[in-house]
Amino acid sequence: MMQGINLKIAQPVSKCQDPLCPYHGHLKIRGKIRVGKVISYKMKKAAVVEIEYFYYVHKYMRYERRRSKIHARVPPCVEIKEGSTVAIAETRPLGKNIAHVVLGEVKAGA
Ligand SMILES: [Zn+2]
């Protein structure tokens, strides 16, 4: 189901019973896949992922670095830590502020 994603994402080792899991449940992913850093994993089933991107400023003809924080659901089978680089995928809205799911850690060299 993860065909066409050109990233080395750590696959889950264990199986989970979570219906809202992209690997073992029926959660569909659609839209954007983004790579970011976990800056907080204090919620039970969700983490805050910081995404860095470049925004072109026409007046100076240069790019500026911008950051945004995205709340993403973490299925029980996906193991992440604060500080790890992860891939997140867009889903349908799962809560008031959550419309992404963590796919797993991105391995170096991807
Ligand atoms: Zn799972």
Domain boundaries, the chain: 33-105
For 33-105, CATH number out of 3.40.50.800, 2.30.30.90, 3.20.20.70, 2.40.50.1000 equals 2.40.50.1000
Assigned token pair, 71: 């709340």
Are residues 16 and 75 in contact, defined by beta-carbon separation less than 8 angstroms?
yes
Query: Separation of 54 CA from ligand 1 center, angstroms?
Result: 33
Assigned token pair, 40: 């907080």
* Tens of pLDDT, residues 50-67: 999 999 999 999 999 999
Assigned token pair, 109: 């060299």
**Residue 9: DSSP 8-state:** B
For each of the chain's 110 residues, which pLDDT tens digit applies?
Answer: 466 667 888 889 999 999 999 999 999 999 999 999 999 999 999 999 999 999 999 999 999 999 999 999 999 999 999 999 999 999 999 999 999 999 999 987 64
Buried b (16+ CB within 10 A) or exposed e, 28-50: ebeeebbbbbbeebeeeebbbbe
Query: Separation of 10 CA from ligand 1 center, angstroms?
Result: 13
Query: Separation of 79 CA from ligand 1 center, angstroms?
Result: 10
Assigned token pair, 106: 């991105």
Indicate left, alpha or beta for 97 from its phi (over 0: left) and psi (-120 to 50: alpha). Answer: alpha
pTM: predicted TM-score of the whole model, two decimal places: 0.87
Query: Separation of 87 CA from ligand 1 center, angstroms?
Result: 15
Residues near ion ligand 1 (CB < 5 Å) are 16, 21, 23-24, 75, 77
Query: Separation of 2 CA from ligand 1 center, angstroms?
Result: 14
